Amino acid sequence: MFLAAGLVKLALIRFTDCIMKLVEVALKVPLDRTFDYLVEGDHTHDILPGVRVIVPFGKRKLIGIVLALKSSTSLETEKLRAVEAFIDVKPIVSTAFIHLIRFCAKYYCYPLGDTLFSALPAALRQGEPLDKLVIHMLSATNAPTTPLRGKKQRALFDYLVENGNSPVCEIKALGFTQSQIDALEKKTLLNRFTAPSIPWTEQLWQLSQKPRLNQEQATACAAIKQSELFSCFLLEGVTGSGKTEVYLHALEDIIKTKKQALVLVPEIGLTPQTVQRFKRRFAGLPITLWHSNLTDNERLEVWRQSESNEIAMVIGTRSSIFLPFAHLGMIIVDEEHDSSFKQQEGLRYHARDLAAYRAAKLGIPLILGSATPALESLHHAISKKYHLLTLQHRAQTASANQFALVDMKGQIAQQGFANTTLNSMLDTLKRGKQVMVFLNRRGFAPTLICHECGWLSGCNRCTASTTYHKAIAQLVCHHCGDIRAIPKQCPDCGSTQIMPAGVGTEQIAEFFSTYFVDYPVIRIDRDTTRKKGALEDALDVIHQGGAKLLVGTQMLAKGHHFPDVALVVILDVDSGLYSSDFRATEHMAQLITQVSGRAGRSGEPGKVILQTHFPDHPLLQDLVNNGYQDFARFALTERQEADLPPYTYLALIRAQGQKFELVMQFLRDLVPEQRSSGIQLLGPLPAPMEKIAGKYRYQLHIQAESRSILHHYLAQLRDYMNTHPLTNRVRWSIDVDPIDMY
Ligand code: ADP
Ligand code: ZN
Ligand code: ZN
C-alpha cells in the first residue's frame, strides 16, 4: 500500500535553489523505508546527519534520526511535512555508525529504522540527552578496625581494595546489592564519588605481572602483533591452553597505542573471575562491562563513555558490538562459537559477524577465540580467509582428558546412571575431588506418565510435554511458561498411578543426596540461580570446596574454572546424534568438549564419562578419540558433501499465527511456480516445535549457492511479503544465517 501511494506521481522537486532543506529520517516503524521531511525557518542552521529530530507521523509525533541531507525527493510538495524540532545540535551517532546500521539492516533484511533503534540504548531512543547523568564510582577507604561480619560485605570490600575505583553498575553486575553498598558506606569503609570525565589516555594505570608466554602463545601473539590493518585471526586452542593470556597480550599492545578495545563474551561468560582477570592485568585502566542487566541509564553512560574515549575497554555481551567507540583498535570475540552471539528475535544479527564487518571497515585486527570453533569460522580459516592460530597444549598441565564411553544398551540404570558410572564417581569423591554431572534438562522429570494408560503430561498450548518440578509441586511448560497443578488422577483414565518419567537436574540432585550421603551436592540451573547473586554464591561454594557433587545444565558448562573437578559425567549425549537440525552434532560436540574442559584443569588429567546408546557412532568416536579439532574437520567434509552451510548460504522464513490455514497459505504463496537458479526452497515445514503458546509455527528454508544470490532473492521476497494480503495477519520474520531452527 505504501509503495503504491509513493508511486502515484513521481514529482521530483529540486530544493537546491531555495532556502528549504530536506532530510532523510529513520523512524522506529516496521516499514521498510526512510522518510523525507522539510526543514523550515530558523532550523536551517548546519544540520548534520546523526542528530535526533521530532517529526509528525500520521497523527503521532515520533523521534527520528537524520540519516542524510537531501536535495531532492520523490514525494509531492503538498505531502511533505516539516521537522518540528531538533533534539540535538551535535550528532549522537557518527556517519560510520550509520553505515554499520545500513549494512546490518540490509544484510539481515530488517527495516532500517527498526535496526537503528534496536542498536541504540533505550534512553537515546526516548530522546534523553547524551550527557544525562553522572556515573557513581565506589572505592574502598581504610581497612576496617573490626573484622567485617557479613560475608558479602567483606567480599565487596576486598573487591574494591583489589580493583580500585569501580562504577556502581559494575559492582551490581557482579552480584552485590545496594544494601551491601549502603552498609559499607555507613561504616565509612567506602567512598562514593562521581567519575571524572577525562579521556582514559590521561589516566594512570599500571600493567601487573604476567606469565611468560609458552612457545605456542608467543607465536600467536607475534602473528597478531605483526598484522597490519584488518586481519581476522581464529585462535583455536583447547580449553585451558591460555587463550585469555593471548588476548591480554594483544590488548596490551593495542592499549599502548592509545586505542580502545572491545571484548565480546557470551551472555553467561561474564563472570567475576573473567572480569577480575582483565582488571587485575591492567590495574587502574577504565574497563567497563556491558550486559543485559544494566539499567537504561547505565547503558547510556557506557555508550557515552565509549564515544568520548573515557573508557579504554569494554567487556560486553552481544549488543556491545554497536557501541560507538571513538578510537577502536581491536575486537576480540571469546567463545566465538557460542550461540548467544546471535540474537534470536527482532533484528536477528550475529555479533561475531558484525564484528568482522566493523573490524574490516576500521582496518583493525579481530580475534575469534574458541576451543570449539564454529564450523563457519573454521571454514574461513582453512580457506585462508582468516589466519589460523593454534594452541594445542594446556598451559598448566601436560595431560589431556581421558574419555570413556559407557554403553547404556541393556543397562539397569538408577536415575539414568549406569552402575559403572556411579562407581567411578564414588572413587573420585573418595580421593577428595569434585565430580560434575551435566544434563541439559532442568526440573525433576521431563514429564508425568500414567502407569495404566500411558497418558503423558503435555502443554495444551504447545507441542511439548510439561516438566514436573517437585520442589514447587507444579507442572511447568518450558516453552510458554504455563504453570499448572499436579493432577491427582489421570485426566484420561482416572487412575491415581501417575509418576515422573525421565530425569532432570532436580531429581539427580535429590538422588545424590541419598546415594552419596557424605558428599554435599549443589545444583546449578535456571531454577536455582533465579535470584540475583545466586549464581555467584553457588560458584563461591564450589570454589571453596563446600560442594563435592556439582549437578547442572549448560550454565555449568561454560567458561568456569573449577580446579578440583576430576570427573565429568555427561548424560543424554544421544539427543544430539540424531536430530533434524543439521547443526545438532556440531553443537553436541561443542558442548561435550566445553563441559569436558571443566575437568582436570590443575595437575592430574581429568576423566570424562559419556553415557550413550550409540557408542559406535562415527562422529562420537572421532570426537572421543581424536578431539574436537579432528571432529570439526570431518564434520566440514560432511557439510560439503550435503551442500550445507558454510558451503551454501541459508535463510529461514518463519511464520506463525493462531490459524493454521493462514500460516500455511502465506508460506505456500511464497513458493514460486518457477524455480530460480541458484536457489533451493524447502517447505513449508513445521518448526521443530510446531506449536507454542497456541500459535502454529511453520518455516521455509531458502538455500543459495552464493551470498549475493541469497540476498538478491531475499530482497525480492521481502517486497512480496510486505505487500501480501496476509502480511498483517501472520507474524513472519526473516532469519539470515540461522543457527537455531527453533
Ligand atoms: P583458556 O582461555 O584457553 O581457557 P587461560 O588463558 O584461562 O586458558 O589459561 C588457563 C590457565 O593457565 C590459567 O590459570 C592461566 O593463568 C594459566 N596460563 C596461561 N598461560 C600461561 C603461561 N604462559 N604460563 C603460566 N600459566 C599460564
Ligand atoms: Zn491414565
Ligand atoms: Zn506451553
Same domain, 230 and 275: yes
Q: What is the dihedral of CA 165, 169, 172, 177, to 10 degrees?
A: 90
The reply to whether ligand 1 has any atom less than 6 angstroms from the CB of 211 is: yes
| Own/partner long-range contacts of 679-685 (Cβ < 8 Å, ≥24 apart) | 679/703, 679/704, 679/705, 679/709, 679/710, 679/713, 680/704, 683/653, 684/655
Counting runs of H as helices and runs of E as strands, what totals does the chain give? 20, 34
Q: Is the CB of 390 under 6 A from ligand 1?
A: no
Query: Which CATH number does the domain housing residue 528 bear?
Result: 3.40.50.300
Residue range 474-523, pLDDT digits in tens: 999 998 899 999 999 999 999 999 999 999 999 999 999 999 999 999 99
**What's the CATH code of the domain at 180?**
1.10.10
pLDDT on residue 579: 80
Helices (H), 343-483: 351-362, 375-382, 419-430
Q: What is the pLDDT of residue 602?
A: 63
- Summarised one tens digit per residue, pLDDT across range 584-593 is 899 999 988 9
Give yes or no: residues 58 and 101 share one domain.
yes
Residue whose grid cell is 502480511? 727
**Quick check: is 271 in a domain?**
yes
Q: Do 216 and 329 share a domain, yes or no?
A: yes
Task: Please provide the average confidence, as pLDDT, over all residues in the chain.
Answer: 88
421 within a domain of the structure (yes/no): yes
In a shared domain, residues 140 and 83: no
Output the CA angle 271-272-275, nearest 5 degrees: 90
Q: Are residues 577 and 435 in the same domain?
A: yes
* 12 has a pLDDT exceeding 80: no
Residue 241 CB less than 6 A away from ligand 1: yes
Per-residue pLDDT of 26-71, as tens digits, reads 999 888 889 999 988 665 567 889 999 999 999 999 999 999 988 8
Q: Which residue type occupies 58?
A: G
One domain, residues 186 and 210? no
Residue 309 placed within a domain: yes
**From the CB of 245, is ligand 1 less than 6 Å away?**
yes
Q: Who's near 290: CB < 8 A, 6+ residues apart?
A: 299, 302, 314, 315, 316, 317, 319, 320, 323
Q: Which domain holds residue 256?
A: 206-391
Starting from the CA of residue 265, give the closest ligand. 1
**Residue 607 is assigned to a structural domain of this protein:** yes
Per-residue model confidence (pLDDT) at position 14: 42
Assess if residue 141 is contained within a domain. yes
**Distance between Cα 211 and ligand 1 center (Å):** 9
Quick one: CA dihedral 147, 152, 155, 161, positive or negative? negative
The answer to whether residue 199 is domain-embedded is no
Cell 593495542 belongs to which residue? 254
E strand residue ranges, 486-564: 498-501, 521-524, 549-552
Q: Which residue is closest in CA terms to ligand 1's atom 5?
A: 242
Say if residue 533 is in the same domain as residue 624.
Answer: yes
pLDDT in tens, 668-711: 999 887 778 899 999 899 998 899 999 999 999 999 999 999 99
State what percent of residues in the chain have pLDDT above 90: 59
559 is written with which cell numbers?
567458561
Q: Which of 623, 621, 617, 619 has the alpha carbon at shortest distance from 595?
A: 623
Write the pLDDT tens digit of every residue in 194-221: 766 788 888 888 888 889 999 999 999 9
Judgement on whether residues 27 and 166 belong to the same structural domain of the protein = no
Report the number of distinct structural domains present in the chain: 5
236 lines ligand 1 (CB under 6 A): no
Best-predicted range by mean pLDDT (69-73, 162-166, 298-302, 326-330): 326-330
At 668 the pLDDT is: 93
* Most distant CA atoms of the chain, gap in Å: 88
Distance CA 636, CA 429 (A): 39
Calculate the CA 308 to chain-centre distance.
Answer: 26
Has residue 494 been placed in a domain? no
Kindly report, residue by residue over 425-477, the tens digit of the pLDDT: 999 999 999 999 999 899 999 999 999 999 999 999 888 899 999 999 999 99
| Gap from CA of 494 to ligand 2 centroid (Å) | 6
What is the number of the ligand 1 atom nearest to the C-alpha of 395? 12
Kindly report the CATH number assigned to the domain that includes residue 19.
3.40.1440.60
Q: Which of 125, 146, 164 is the last residue of a domain?
A: 125
Look at residue 496 in the predicted model and tell me its pLDDT. 93
- Cβ of residue 657 lying under 6 Å from some atom of ligand 1: no
Query: Are 690 and 463 contacting, i.e. CB atoms less than 8 angstroms apart?
Result: yes
Coil, strand or helix: which one is 389? strand
pLDDT tens profile 161-180: 887 788 787 787 777 888 88
Q: What is the pLDDT of residue 707?
A: 95
Tell me the three cell numbers of residue 195: 567519575
> 689 and 586 share a domain?
no
Given this model, what pLDDT does residue 543 score? 86
For residues 218 and 283, membership in a common domain is answered with yes
Q: Does one domain contain both 371 and 406?
A: no
| pLDDT tens digit sequence for 599-656 | 766 667 789 999 999 999 988 999 999 999 999 999 999 999 999 999 999 999 999 9
How far, CA to CA in Å, does 677 sit from each of 668, 674, 706? Answer: 19, 9, 11
* Distance, C-alpha 23 to centroid of its chain: 36
DSSP string, 79-124: G--B--EES-SS-SS-HHHHHHHHHHHHHTT--HHHHHHHHS-HHH
Indicate if 620 and 664 belong to the same structural domain.
no
User: Quick check: is 201 in a domain?
Assistant: no
- For 139, list phi and psi in degrees, rounded to 5: -145, 155
